[in-house]
Amino acid sequence: MSTIITRFPPSPTGYLHVGGARTALFNWFYARHTQGRFVLRIEDTDTVRSTQASADAIFDALKWLGVDWDEGPYFQTQRFHIYTEYVQKLIDAGHAYYCTCSPEEVEAMRRHAMATGGKPKYDGTCREKGLSKCDHAVVRFRAPRTGTTVIHDVVKGDIVFQNAEQDDFIIQRSDGTPTYNFVVVVDDISMGINTIIRGDDHVNNTPRQIMMYRALGAELPVFAHVPMVLGKDKTRLSKRHGAMSVTAYRDMGFLPEAMINYLVRLGWSYGDQEFFTREDLIEKFTLEHIGRSAGVFDMDKLLALNADHIKATPPRLLTPHLMPFLKERGYPAEEGDYLDQVILTLNARSKTLIEMADQARFYYVETVEYDPAAAEKNLKPESLDPLRLLIQHLESLTDFTIAGLEKIFLTVMEATGLKLGKIAQPVRVALTGKTASPGIFEIIEILGKGAVVRRLQQAVDYIETHVAS
């Protein structure tokens, strides 16, 4: 079997959105699964709306997702000479012809066809005239008028189109620029693309493209038209559903692995498995497992999956993704053992990297700010004795481990007659400023003796200054 070659051809007229990213991932994973090749092509023939900034944003999003390409990026605007050659091939072979009908005349033809119960299309006025090239002429493809064109679709099965319903569509405008359906076919043929995975909004374009493949004597690629991504209300995905740029999710604290996992599962399945690593998907992704039902984008499910990936990712691999959020908050965070330990205490408590960065605050600030409600409830005069005793014992502690810390707390409990909760909660607020945090012994061990003693003393000073009468 020949090498599988897939492609992703975004238009640089905006950001890479969720639906486009899923298409890129389907093509990339299939190429990697089959040890094939993945081509990136920028379809920028819409020169009015296409921008380099949009192209760069697409590259940025793909790189964040870890989608690399074996060829490209190719830009269609740099390939006009190739399209001109293919136009001439079709003209020379009798599969295309020049047409001088004006837009107004073509519109009149369509209105007449509709008025007489026909399809609104060009009527073939110039089809047999044998016209030569001139300034105002377009080039039309000579579409077959009888028979059918069948898409043998891996996902949808066979889809049959009546050729009589197609018209002789334009492949080159009068200014010499080629049209979308034509350049797509030329690109796919000349780049050796043999597997096309794309959204099912392209189904209606496909019969025209198949006609041109045949006219050019090219082998048809495998087609796989995947259902669209919908919002929870089952309407086409829009911004109100979460159809933001892919990099917006990065900035919201999502891991690329979670985004990949979630997007691929929108329309593809492998039994009941929900959690996939990149390696899992490379191993298991096939076209046969793409479903026929539309995927429904659910932010809650994405958040839950992101939490799972945060928890499953080793600290050293999570660090590069977390670090920008720590730096953004001004924390003096550095890669290494300290941050690894911080992550291990927070990874089961964080749905996003933003949540993790916010929760990490107490590990990096010099002075803890107390939540008013937490301080009022826990930093009270009756907390002074256990806090002072803890300071006394911690200052002389040599075994600064969880086991050693547990012994000290037991000693303080015996000396004060208080249960662990009555001691641990004031300590928690003293160390973190909040009533909810990772395990108290874990926190103490990570912060270290100096920081812990200093914060406990600050809590004592706070109670004596603001609470005790």
**Residues known to be catalytic:** 239
Give how far the C-alpha of residue 246 lies from the chain's centroid of Cα atoms, to the nearest Å.
Answer: 4
Q: Which two tokens stand for residue 350?
A: 């964080």
For residue 3, the one-letter residue type is T
CA dist 204 and 202 (Å) reads: 6
Q: Which two tokens stand for residue 454?
A: 């200093």
- Tell the burial category of 320 from Cβ atoms under 10 Å away from its Cβ (0-12, 13-18, 19+): exposed
CA dist 28 and 265 (Å) reads: 14
Q: Which two tokens stand for residue 72?
A: 């490209």
Q: Contacts from 275-280 at CB under 8 Å and sequence distance 24+?
A: 275/305, 275/308, 275/309, 275/312, 278/66
Task: State in Å, rounded, how far the first CA of the chain is from the last one.
Answer: 86
CA dist 25 and 65 (Å) reads: 9
Q: Are 356 and 324 in contact (CB under 8 A)?
A: no
Q: Are 397 and 452 in contact (CB under 8 A)?
A: no
- Tell the burial category of 298 from Cβ atoms under 10 Å away from its Cβ (0-12, 13-18, 19+): middle
